[in-house]
Amino acid sequence: MVFVYNRINLEQLSRVLDLPLENLIKSISAVPISKKEEVADFQLSVDSLLDNNSDRLRTDTQVQAKRLAEKLRCDMVVSEIRAGQGTVNFKINRELLTKTVLQQVIEDGSKYGLKSELFSGVPKQKVVVEFSSPNVAKKFHVGHLRSTIIGNFIANLKEALGHEVTRINYLGDWGMQFGLLGTGFQLFGYEEKLQSNPLQHLFEVYVQVNKEAADDKTVAKSAREFFHRLETGNMQALSLWQKFRDLSIEEYIRIYKRLGIYFDEYSGESFYREKSQEVLKLLDSKGLLLKTIKGTAVVDLSGNDDPSSICTVMRSDGTSLYTTRDIAAAIDRMDKYNFDAMIYVTDKGQKKHFQQVFQILKTMGYDWAERCHHVPFGVVQGMKTRRGEVTFLEDVLNEIQLRMLQNMASIKTTKELENPQETAEKVGLAALIIQDFKGLLLSDYQFSWDRVFQSRGDTGVFLQYTHARLHSLEETFGCGYLNDFNMACLQEPQSVSILQHLLRFDEVLYRSSLDLQPKHIVSYLLTLSHLAAVAHRTLQIKHSPPEVSGARLHLFKAVRSVLANGMKLLGITPVCRM
Cα angle vertex 165, ends 162, 168, to 5°?
165
- Reduced DSSP (H G I as helix, E B as strand, rest coil) percent helix, strand, coil of the chain, to 5: 60, 15, 30
What are the DSSP calls for 112-158, one per residue?
Answer: TTTTSGGGTTPPP-EEEEE---PBTTS--BGGGHHHHHHHHHHHHHH
| CA dist 378 → 142, 192, 347, 492, 515 (Å) | 13, 39, 6, 43, 16
Distance separating alpha carbons of residues 31 and 45, to the nearest angstrom: 11
- The residues pairing with 45 across neighbouring beta strands, listed in sequence order, are 87
Beta strand residue intervals within 480-542, DSSP E: none
Distance separating alpha carbons of residues 309 and 305, to the nearest angstrom: 8
Element (H, E) at 89: strand 87-92
Catalytic residue from among 141, 275, 362, 519? 141
Catalytic residue from among 138, 201, 520, 554? 138
Contact 109, 122 (CB under 8 A): no
Q: Where are the alpha helices (DSSP H) in 319-392?
A: 322-337, 351-363
Catalytic residue from among 139, 144, 501, 536? 144
Q: Is 352 in the active site?
A: no
- The residues pairing with 80 across neighbouring beta strands, listed in sequence order, are 91
Contact 536, 72 (CB under 8 A): no
Distance separating alpha carbons of residues 362 and 399, to the nearest angstrom: 45
Distance separating alpha carbons of residues 462 and 475, to the nearest angstrom: 20
Q: Is 467 in the active site?
A: no
Q: Is 141 in the active site?
A: yes
Active-site positions read 138, 141, 144
